[in-house]
Amino acid sequence: NAGVTQTPKFRVLKTGQSMTLLCAQDMNHEYMYWYRQDPGMGLRLIHYSVGEGTTAKGEVPDGYNVSRLKKQNFLLGLESAAPSQTSVYFCASSRTDQNSPLHFGNGTRLTVT
Amino acid sequence: AQRVTQPEKLLSVFKGAPVELKCNYSYSGSPELFWYVQYSRQRLQLLLRHISRESIKGFTADLNKGETSFHLKKPFAQEEDSAMYYCALRFYGGSQGNLIFGKGTKLSVKP
């Protein structure tokens, strides 16, 4: 039982390049989330999904797209990376019942130059 | 709008001293509140949730609906408690998704 796995762990991009961050969970969770963590800003929700085939915008969705084609996977895409997207990205998942906690991945450290 | 406020960015205490990390929330419905901890360069982990009313690693947190607070407390801090602590609020509906975090408090426990 690996929990929540994120790939890659580190990445350096040049402005304008694209990439996809992969999140996989093996806990059969319905809900999945993408957050970014920046110093002094805490965690901010980018996009989330309440089930396979569904996605919704969070607090800071601009510049990102997501897809949830399979229940266990939640992909975060950057079509044209910008230096402002330099951050640590965390994926999380949870059950649907009340008071279910989030289970986090180890994070992806992305630098855009 | 829903909001979680952690007023202290940094809290520094000596080993053995009591510690209280403050969290206030704004939500008109029935809140679900959590404390998460992140040790240096590790993933966030659940520390406490208000529904459980449990003590984890000596930490407790009580939901005060009158003061809309969910402060995290420990009577005697240990060096291994040094970490980032995030308070989180789960709510249902709205455009912000269903779990938001405060900006975090960095706890530093000095020997």
Note the pLDDT tens digit of each residue in A55-91. Answer: 999 889 999 999 999 999 999 999 999 999 999 999 9
Rounded Cα distance between B101 and B43, Å, is 15
Interface of A with B in 57-96 (CB under 8 A): 57-59, 90, 92, 94
* Pairing of β B19-21 and β A73-78: unpaired
pLDDT, residue B95, reads: 46
Note the pLDDT tens digit of each residue in B88-98. Answer: 998 776 544 57
Q: Contacts of residue A42 in chain B, CB cutoff 8 Å? A: 6, 86, 101-104
Distances (CA, A) of B49 to B39, B56, B61: 18, 10, 8
Q: Does the CB of A104 have a partner CB in chain B at under 8 Å?
A: yes
Note the pLDDT tens digit of each residue in A22-65. Answer: 999 999 999 999 999 998 888 999 999 989 999 999 889 999 99
Q: Is there a contact between A10 and A108 (Cβ–Cβ < 8 Å)?
A: yes
Q: What count of other Cβ atoms lies within 10 Å of the Cβ of residue B11?
A: 17
Name which of B44, B86, B100 is nearest A45 (Cβ-Cβ): B100
SS3 B75: coil
A4: left (phi over 0), alpha (psi -120 to 50) or beta: beta
Name which of A31, A43, A107 is nearest B101 (Cβ-Cβ): A43
Q: What is the dihedral of CA A14, A66, A23, B49, to 10 degrees?
A: 120
